[in-house]
Chains A and B, each alone.
Chain A
Amino acid sequence: MSDILVDIQHLTFKRGDRVIYDDMSMQFQRGKVTAIMGPSGIGKTTLLRLIGGQLKPEQGKILVNGQDIPQLNRKDLYKARQKMSMLFQSGAMFSDMSVYDNVAFPIREHTRLPEEIIRLMVLMKLEAVGLRGARDLMPAELSGGMARRAALARAIALDPQLILYDEPFAGQDPISMGVIVRLIRSLNNALGLTSVVVSHDVNEVMSIADYVYVVAEQKVIGQGTPEELRAHPSALVQQFLQGESDGPVPFHFKAASYSTELMELAK
């Protein structure tokens, strides 16, 4: 079995006329936490949707377990999706079901297990994210952090091989951020998952990732372990990691010269 679970080769993706990715390649190792970082608006979520087969690329291959996802027919794509899972930024909990039923949903859909076993599985998953006591609550009654943890319990309900996290730390308070950081790492180790974390929270990502890709300007601008990346020579990578407001990515949106514009107004 190859060490690489997801292999993206020469990916090109456009939205209308706008090029999102131009001939980009990356590989995610089995059993590792791989992070994809980059400024907002470069299509990090799009990448997860491409891996999940919800979008089709213009060119390139997206191999998951050796299967080229964009080439799969509907039946095989749905089969492939049973082995992967995605944690959406909003949690995407079904608002008409309790937390318990939400976590039980994929199990009930894909297996014919008796209700007692489903109950056991659901409680185990909820225990893993610390929400066993919240099983009877409705999603609307959960805080943002709890909703994301409940969604995480649902995402691991069927023990997927691959789990895709879309901005798991966005909008979380420091405590729930810490909880989620720990959960991603510990679940990855305990369940033998392969995790892909898309995020722009540099510190959190650097603390849990085994390997990091920095994406900007439609391609990978830097990659390596967190240590390697900290010593990366690219000014753009350094600007992103240090969070500097001006640098290769300018603070100002493209515009005519400020002084010329002011002078024109004065005329």
Chain B
Amino acid sequence: MIVDKLQQLGQKSIAKIQGMGRATIMLFGALIAWPTPRKSFPLLLKQLYVVGVLSLLIILVSGLFIGMVLALQGYTVLSKFGAEQMLGPLVALSLLRELGPVVTALLFAGRAGSALTAEIGLMKATEQLSGMEMMAVDPLRRIIAPRFWAGVISMPLLAMIFTAVGILGGHLVGVDWLGVDSGGYWSAMQANVDFQQDIMNGVIKSAVFALIVTWIALHKGFDAVPTSEGISQATTQTVVTSSLAVLGFDFILTAVMFGG
């Protein structure tokens, strides 16, 4: 009984490690190549549009609402201590350090990550990837590489937009609605936000999340069992695994960046 359980555990661990190995091989295969700008640039541009620009709406709307909620919640607490002028730094720091990168990554995993997995899984199921290989075109370089770079480039930009819109949302609620002084909102923010410590660390976080989410999404699609059930499972796994990975890595990065 216990031996069986141990055996199962061992098998699962081996399968996980093999999966990680395949994911690494896939990524290396896609990225280690002579750059051919004439061919790859148009492909990258198209993917930047699909992955980045098309995710813009959900990022803008979510950013706005999260900023507004932060200001509303923050104001009720801060006003008890007569510290309403600190609303600007509260909203800005929460967004820059945590919510901007994390929520963007979670939304990105749901919106673009799942789409990438499903697209590549279906290409595999309909033999498009095999077909490409037989035409002497490497699908890793033609399909995976531009999508990977598009994800890695667009997510930090989306996180910055998310944060900026969130700060404006905070202004909308805090200043325009609840009556905090506008000059105070901005000047306290300016005084308390450090470029290196807060802004750059947020960008680094977001770049790490971008790498993780895009990598997981592409690998799950590329490794999917080429059936309808397999693709649906792969898509779910992309969202679940990348969300958990983002939250886990967020803790580690926060501990390293702000812990001591």
Residues of A within 8 A of B (CB): 49, 52, 54, 78-79, 81-82, 84-86, 88-90, 92-95, 105-106, 109-110, 154
B positions within 8 Å CB-CB of A: 39, 126-128, 130-138, 142
Structural contact, B135 and A54, CB atoms closer than 8 A: no
> How many angstroms from the CA of A117 to the CA of B127 in the assembled complex?
29
Q: Provide the residues of chain B in CB contact with A154, threshold 8 Å.
A: 135
Q: Name the distance in Å between A192's Cβ and chain B's nearest Cβ.
A: 20
A106: chain B residues at CB < 8 Å are: 135-137
**Contact A85-B138, Cβ < 8 Å, known A90-B126, A92-B126, A92-B127:** no
Please give 14 more A-B residue pairs, beta carbons under 8 A apart, in addition to A78-B138, A82-B136, A105-B137. Answer: A54-B133, A81-B133, A84-B134, A85-B134, A89-B127, A90-B126, A92-B126, A92-B128, A94-B131, A106-B136, A109-B135, A109-B142, A110-B136, A154-B135
Question: Contact: B131 with A88, CB < 8 Å?
Answer: yes
Partner of A92, one of B39, B130, B136, B138: B130
**Complex alpha-carbon distance, A106 and B133, angstroms:** 11
Q: Which residues of B contact A78 (CB under 8 A)?
A: 136, 138
Per the bound structure, the CA–CA distance linking A109 and B132 in Å amounts to: 10
Q: 12 A-B Cβ contacts within 8 A?
A: A54-B133, A78-B136, A85-B135, A86-B131, A90-B127, A92-B126, A92-B128, A92-B130, A94-B128, A94-B131, A94-B132, A109-B142
> Most A CB atoms within 10 A — which of B130, B134, B137, B142?
B134
Q: How far is the CB of A238 from chain B (nearest CB, A)?
A: 34
Bound Cα distance from A93 to B132, whole angstroms: 10
When distances are taken between beta carbons in the complex, the residues of chain B under 8 Å from A52 are: 133-134
Point out the residues of chain B lying under 8 angstroms from A110, CB to CB: 136
**Residue in B closest to A112 when the chains form the complex, CB atoms:** B38
Do residues B127 and A88 form an inter-chain contact, with CB atoms below 8 A? yes
Task: Tell me the nearest residue of chain B to A88, going by C-beta.
Answer: B127
